């Protein structure tokens, strides 16, 4: 399976910086599928799944943003108590370290989707496949 491409955008923790970033994406007519932000007092990392990550990366870099493309794994989970735990337990039982995750609800085809970044992506993907996790093709995520 091919990995999903996530944008990691480094932002100064200044008023309006995130809005400016999202304005650029809007001007490109590109849709945001999921996002997460982690911040400190001085900067933040905006993580985005968008419909055209390469186009957004190129445009933001032209405007002097620091942008990185990161491989992540999208997994469908049941939207019920313990749904996420099944996946986390599978990874933990196989000594796969989780770097971070974020999730969103998608009610047309899946209950919920979790985006995973693992310390060892290839080994983690293998564990998920062998554990019968419901992996989602990146093109499906881009077209939601």
pLDDT band for 67, please (50, 70, 90 cuts).
Answer: very high
Cα separation, 136 vs 119, in Å, equals: 20
Same structural domain for residues 17 and 66? yes
Point out the domain boundary residue: 71, 92, 114: 71
Task: Return the residue matching tokens 């047309």.
Answer: 108
For the question of whether the overall pTM of this predicted structure is more than 0.75, the answer is: yes
Question: Which of residues 71, 95, 119 is at a domain's end?
Answer: 71
Which residues form the domain of 21?
4-71
**Angle value at C-alpha 49, between 30 and 84, nearest 5 degrees:** 145
Distance CA 73, CA 119 (A): 12
pLDDT digits (tens, 9 = 90+) for 46-65: 999 999 999 999 999 999 99
Q: Check whether residue 102 and residue 115 sit in a common domain.
A: yes
The pLDDT tens digits for 81-134 are 999 999 999 999 999 999 999 998 876 787 899 999 999 999 999 999 999 999
């Amino acid at each position: 399976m091919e990995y999903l491409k996530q944008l990691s955008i480094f932002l100064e923790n200044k008023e309006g910086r995130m809005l400016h970033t999202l304005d650029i994406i809007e001007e490109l007519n590109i849709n945001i599928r999921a996002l997460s932000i982690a911040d400190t007092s001085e900067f933040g990392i905006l993580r985005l799944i968008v419909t055209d990550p390469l186009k957004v990366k190129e445009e933001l870099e032209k405007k002097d943003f620091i942008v990185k493309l990161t491989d992540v794994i999208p997994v469908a989970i049941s939207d019920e108590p313990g749904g996420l735990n099944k996946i986390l337990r599978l990874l933990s039982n196989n000594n796969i370290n989780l770097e971070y995750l974020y999730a969103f609800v998608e009610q047309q085809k899946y209950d919920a989707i979790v985006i995973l970044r693992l310390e060892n992506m290839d080994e983690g993907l293998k564990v998920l496949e062998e554990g019968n996790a419901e992996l989602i093709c990146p093109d499906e995520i881009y077209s939601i």
